[in-house]
């Protein structure tokens, strides 16, 4: 995948809450950064072969800085730890131009933003955009505790502070998130956006469906999911490369292709970002990603090879 890369420098770095580093990035040459829409993310080229996605949490109306919040997760695959260890003030790093897989619906009558933990980051940019638009919205920030949560000061000072409600597990029962009450009536004009840990998001999404929300009005962005590589083996034929490979039980298509010299661009390796998507010419994929929509999965003409498998004995891919 060819993409434009930007050279940026860390102009400000701050640790907030428990192990969240907040970074302000500016163009190294002093020029303005490309405009972005709320919900967008950038790829950070942390190290050779190590690329990770992080949501932009700055005001989309501000062209001079991109703000990121990165939770240090010792159980991650290395990206967040390296960012915490290496990206200090003055350090230059390459990032992609912003991409938006989590856009706002501009004509929603009402918008509910539900962020869990570090999943608050895209919601902050969305709140800025909605406030500027004069739209009706609520931002609910859920966390384990106030002391472990980032961005609280920024949200308290924001021009939309009156629309922000916080919910912490270790505080009074009355302030905890009452999901049915917050979701309310699933009227035609209400759109829900959620981001955070998988368990939190699954709970929110299930609650919205139970309240009668239309699937098209439930918007979600996963940061991290567990890859399920279980299932029997199958064959993959790379049509353009004219190579066939057997994908073993418990092995990913990505790894099997690498064994026969076929390199696929990757990033998250969890079925979240879509970088490794390939066109399916024959066969039926067993979709295990959270990137493709239900409609795209039903079409069975695309597959994310980092995590998905096959329902048929053979898949033919356009690679």
What is the chain's pLDDT, residue by residue, as a tens digit (319 residues)? 446 899 999 999 999 998 999 999 999 999 999 999 999 999 999 888 788 889 999 999 987 999 999 999 876 666 889 999 999 999 999 999 998 989 999 899 999 999 999 999 999 999 999 999 999 999 999 999 999 999 999 999 999 999 999 999 999 999 999 999 999 988 878 999 999 998 999 999 999 999 999 999 999 998 766 667 788 999 999 999 999 999 999 899 999 999 999 999 877 778 877 889 999 999 999 999 888 878 899 999 999 999 999 999 999 999 9
The burial class, CB within 10 Å (0-12 / 13-18 / 19+), for 119 is: buried
What CATH number matches the domain at 234-317, 3.90.870.10, 2.120.10.70, 3.40.50.300, 3.10.20.30?
3.10.20.30
Beta bridge partner(s), residue 111: 137, 191
CATH code of the region 110-222: 3.40.50.80
Give ranges for CATH 2.40.30.10 in the chain.
5-96
Taking the C-alpha atoms of residue 55 and residue 127, their distance in angstroms, rounded to an integer, is 14
What CATH number matches the domain at 5-96, 3.30.230.10, 2.40.30.10, 2.40.50.100, 3.20.20.70?
2.40.30.10
86 three-state secondary structure: helix
Do the beta carbons of residue 308 and residue 286 sit within 8 Å? Answer: yes
Kindly list the distances between the CA atom of residue 150 and the CA atoms of 41, 74, 147, in Å, as whole numbers in the listed order: 18, 18, 8
Give the chain's end-to-end CA distance (angstroms, integer): 13
As a residue count, the chain comes to 319
Do the beta carbons of residue 101 and residue 274 sit within 8 Å? Answer: yes
Which residue intervals of 134-197 are DSSP H helices?
A: 152-157, 179-183
Give ranges for CATH 3.40.50.80 in the chain.
110-222
């Amino acid at each position: 995948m060819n993409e434009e890369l930007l050279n940026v420098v860390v102009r400000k770095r701050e640790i907030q809450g428990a192990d969240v580093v907040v970074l302000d990035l500016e163009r190294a040459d002093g020029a303005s950064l490309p405009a972005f829409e709320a919900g967008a993310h950038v790829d950070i080229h942390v190290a050779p072969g190590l690329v990770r996605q992080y949501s932009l949490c700055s005001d989309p109306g501000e062209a001079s800085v991109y703000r990121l919040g990165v939770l240090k997760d010792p159980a991650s695959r290395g990206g967040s730890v390296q960012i915490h260890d290496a990206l200090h003030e003055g350090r230059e790093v390459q990032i992609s131009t912003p991409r938006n897989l989590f856009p706002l619906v501009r004509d929603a009558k009402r918008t509910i933003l539900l962020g869990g933990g570090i999943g608050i980051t895209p919601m902050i940019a969305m709140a800025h955009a909605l406030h500027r638009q004069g739209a009706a919205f609520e931002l609910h920030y859920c966390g384990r505790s106030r002391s472990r949560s980032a961005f609280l000061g920024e949200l308290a000072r924001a021009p939309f502070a009156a629309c922000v409600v916080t919910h912490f597990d270790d505080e009074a029962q009355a302030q905890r998130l009452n999901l049915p009450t917050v979701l309310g009536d699933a009227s035609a004009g209400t759109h829900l956006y959620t981001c955070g840990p998988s368990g939190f998001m699954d709970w929110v999404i299930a609650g919205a469906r139970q309240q009668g929300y239309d699937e098209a009005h439930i918007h979600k962005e996963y940061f991290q999911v567990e890859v399920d590589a279980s299932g029997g083996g199958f064959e993959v034929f790379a049509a353009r490369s004219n190579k066939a490979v057997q994908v073993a039980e418990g092995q990913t298509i990505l790894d099997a292709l690498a064994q026969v010299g076929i390199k696929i661009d990757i990033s998250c390796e969890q079925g979240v970002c879509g970088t490794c998507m390939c066109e399916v010419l024959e066969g039926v994929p067993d979709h295990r990603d959270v990137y493709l929509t239900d409609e795209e999965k039903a079409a069975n003409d695309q597959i994310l090879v980092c995590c998905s498998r096959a329902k048929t004995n053979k898949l033919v891919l356009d690679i």
